[in-house]
A and B are shown apart, each in its own frame.
Chain A
Amino acid sequence: MHHTTYMKAGNTDDAVARMADGGQLLAGGMTLIPTMKQRLANPETLVDLAGCGLAGIEDQGDSIRIGAMTRHADVAGSDLVRGAIPALAALAGGIGDRQVRNRGTIGGSVANNDPSACYPAAVLGLGGTVHTDRRDIAADDFFTGMFETALDEDEMITAVSFPKTGKAAYVKFPNPASRYAMVGVFVASAVDGTRVAVTGAGSDGVFRHAGMEAALDAGFSAGSLDGITVDADEMISDIHASGDYRAHLVREIAKRAVAAC
């Protein structure tokens, strides 16, 4: 690991100012530290967000607001989340392993937009909102490509909010070694109709599948997806699975998610 200078930010403004000076934010470190160890990231300055007071889960009536530094284990264990959006609590409880969940945060996961990460599927599938130090960004505008988001260079996520819905489910086909999603599908009944968000599979990262959404709006059952095709050319093809295999899995996993709703 290359040399770096470590500092703690005291609050959001402080963190953003240090980012503007070239610092890189450190949340749970469960992505950033392994990347630094492999020398794929070499930040000169690390700005630890642990002291910024951004952890916590709030009931906002129709929605739940989760602070950026809230750990996966805390979302998985929250009575509020388990009661109002059980699929979201279950998703958080299925990320990586216990030790990853004890450190990894929602802000880090959403900011990173790893094409195999779980949270992006929930944010897009539930039609959530990403709150930053300067604005609110709708899920549909936030994820712009593999590891790409609408965040400015020095913009920081402060929280993510999710509309409440009991009718939602996330099913993941995990890579057995890493536990990341080889394919993960989040299906939710939202105010604007059914939303189907797919992670792990798309070569541009997380995406919604309009064909499945229309089929489910016409009739909400796993069987409605039988005739749907998923374009293998738009899938990731790698050592773990070919594009064809992933395309097939997307429909199968989506059917399981619908059945679980």
Chain B
Amino acid sequence: MTMVNLTLNGKQVSADVPDNTLLVTFIRETMGLTGTHVGCDTSQCGACVVHVDGESLKSCTMLAAGAEGASVTTIEGIADGDSLHPMQQAFHENHGLQCGFCTPGMVMSAIELVQDNPNPSETEIREGLEGNICRCTGYHNIVKSVQAGAKMMGG
């Protein structure tokens, strides 16, 4: 067992977990935040993307113990009270989701993308979201959402 201490959506949390606990398991099962999804076991789908110290990562491919002392942000941590994060709002307004399974990862990846590149082109958005797979939308409205989200975030 390993004692893991980290900041999760701004709150200090700790738990004693088996050493092989993945960060996504820690988030979903130990901390009960099920917004972060698991869509594959090959590290390819991106449904599990969270931010660790401000960078997007696949939480299914990192051990919780490796996030010791880090600041982790999940989809539950980005809204400001009742008002959605601009990127969430943009997905909502542009029909950027159908079943919604990929959406938490898409939104977390899209936020990092826009933080790095406030005014991304369609190609840059498609390339920037290579690590996120969606089985429903055909990506068209996701690209539109990210463009709208980028504007709302101030790009």
Binding site for B on A (CB under 8 A): 1-6, 26, 29-30, 33-34, 36-38, 46, 48, 50, 96-100, 102-103, 177-179
A residues near B49, Cβ cutoff 8 Å: 99
Beyond A6-B19, A6-B63, is A99–B58 a contact (Cβ under 8 Å)? yes
A2-B20 in contact (CB<8A): yes
Contact of B61 among A103, A178, A179 (CB under 8 A): A103
A97-B2 in contact (CB<8A): no
Contact of A177 among B19, B44, B63 (CB under 8 A): B44
B131-A98 in contact (CB<8A): yes
Nearest-neighbor residue (CB-CB) of A37 within chain B:
B41
Beyond A98-B112, A99-B57, is A29–B130 a contact (Cβ under 8 Å)? no
B113 at interface, CB cutoff 8 A = yes
**Distance in angstroms between the alpha carbons of A29 and B60 in the assembled complex:** 10
Residue from B18, B42, B55, B66 with most neighbouring chain A CB atoms (10 Å): B66
Nearest-neighbor residue (CB-CB) of A174 within chain B:
B130
**Distance in angstroms between the alpha carbons of A208 and B53 in the assembled complex:** 40
How many inter-chain residue pairs (CB < 8 Å) link A and B? 75
B73 at interface, CB cutoff 8 A = no
Beyond A6-B65, A33-B62, is A99–B56 a contact (Cβ under 8 Å)? yes
A5-B19 in contact (CB<8A): yes
Contact of A29 among B42, B62, B132 (CB under 8 A): B62
B131-A100 in contact (CB<8A): yes
B149 at interface, CB cutoff 8 A = no
**Distance in angstroms between the alpha carbons of A5 and B42 in the assembled complex:** 22
Within 22-60 of B, Cβ neighbours of A (below 8 Å) are at 22, 41-44, 46, 49, 55-58, 60
Q: Give A178 Cβ to nearest chain B Cβ, in Å.
A: 7
A30-B61 in contact (CB<8A): yes
A103-B62 in contact (CB<8A): yes
Within 90-145 of B, Cβ neighbours of A (below 8 Å) are at 109, 112-113, 128, 130-132
A residues near B63, Cβ cutoff 8 Å: 6, 26, 29, 33, 46
**Distance in angstroms between the alpha carbons of A48 and B44 in the assembled complex:** 23
A residues near B113, Cβ cutoff 8 Å: 98
Contact of A3 among B19, B55, B60, B62 (CB under 8 A): B19
Q: Give A67 Cβ to nearest chain B Cβ, in Å.
A: 18
Given contacts A29-B63, A37-B41, A102-B55, 4 further A-B contacts (CB under 8 A): A29-B66, A33-B63, A38-B41, A99-B57
A residues near B19, Cβ cutoff 8 Å: 3-6, 46
Contact of B131 among A4, A38, A48, A99 (CB under 8 A): A99
B residues near A4, Cβ cutoff 8 Å: 19-20
14 A-B pairs (CB sep. < 8 Å): A3-B19, A6-B63, A30-B61, A33-B62, A34-B43, A34-B61, A46-B19, A46-B63, A48-B65, A96-B130, A99-B49, A100-B58, A102-B55, A103-B58
Nearest-neighbor residue (CB-CB) of A178 within chain B:
B44
B56-A98 in contact (CB<8A): yes
A102-B56 in contact (CB<8A): yes
**Distance in angstroms between the alpha carbons of A1 and B41 in the assembled complex:** 11
